[in-house]
Structure 1
Amino acid sequence: MENITEQELELLRILQKNSRFDISELTERLNISRTSVYDKIKKLENEGYITHYAALIDPKKVGLNFTVIVNVSLISQRYDYVEEFTKHVASLSEVVEGYVTAGIFDYVLKVVVKDPEAFNEFIAKKLSVVPNISKVQSTFVMSYIKQSTVLSF
């Protein structure tokens, strides 16, 4: 954390919990003017601390009732295999999170779909068409213990 004040860190803590802030509340909590709050937010955006704003949607409310953690290994870590897999997976709307990992599997994907049939179609028509996949293992999520976008710092 370079070039960031404690006041800016507190602003980040507040915004990550609710980016639909009330400017009066922020000025009071941070003990600074409205202009200073806006200036600090713009600085944090420009420096890449704040990358974007989004509304968190309950998947079940929009008919996406089935979450699956998918572990994937490639045949090889050749650059072209990795590039092709990464580009393909990044384009799939069903994949809401994806990670390059070390260990038994090369990737961990979080896939959210309507139901098991939709997941089967996702695997058959979208994931398995990527060449050079050697292994896929799926774990079906039964319930959530914790979901958060809030970082501790």
Structure 2
Amino acid sequence: MADNGVAGLDSTDRQILRELQADGRISNVELAERVRLSPSPCLRRVKSLEERGYIRGYMAVLDREQVDRGMYVHVMVSLTSQRQETLEEFERAVSALPEVLECYLMAGESDYLLAVAVADLEAYQRFFRERLGEVPGVASLRSLISMKTVKYTTALPV
């Protein structure tokens, strides 16, 4: 099998990563069966993948609707300045907002792109006005409201 540009991984390692991305709670015995190893070597490989940083952790993916965070909004943020101190202050403030799930420094039209999860439009309006709009250094905010999730995955191709 081709390496696909993932240095240090063989086809069994990649299969282990695919299986764990699909089901992080799979037992070692079941994982070993799926990748055609005995349990001990399989566990050693998983531990090695963890130690080498390929696996950063394990988590539960929650249903946003069930936890009252069904509205997903992307926000394009432009800052008043590109000075390092402005960027750092913005990043600190946004990192403290639990509604912000993701924050990316961007090249292009906006300085940052945020992914925000809230209950509904009223909750977003309140968050926008009372919290996000008050973050230091913000010059403008453009909201892109998600109407439908067509594809969502956390699994990376390996």
Normalising by the residue count of structure 2, what TM-score does the alignment of the two structures yield? 0.90
Q: What is aligned with 1:19? A: 24
User: Which region of structure 1 is more displaced relative to structure 2, 20-29 or 113-122?
Assistant: 20-29
Match of 1:5 in 2: 10
**How far apart, CA to CA, are the structure 2 residues paired with 1:10 and 1:82?**
39
| Alignment pair present for 1:95 and 2:105 | no
**Matched residues, number:** 153
**What are the Cα deviations for residues 69-116 of structure 1, in whole angstroms up to 9, with x where unaligned?**
111011221111111111111121101122111110111111111112
RMSD (Å), alpha carbons: 1.3
Q: Which amino acid aligns with 1:148?
A: T
> Could you tell me how far 1:27 is from its partner in structure 2?
1.6
Distance 2:77 2:92 in 1: 15
1:112 aligns with 2:107: no
Q: CA deviation at 1:14?
A: 0.9
Q: Which runs of 5+ in 2 are unaligned?
A: 1-5
Amino acid at match of 1:68: V
Match of 1:30 in 2: 35
Unaligned runs of 5+ in 1: none
Cα separation, 1, equivalents of 2:23 and 2:40: 20
CA positional deviation for 1:122:
1.1
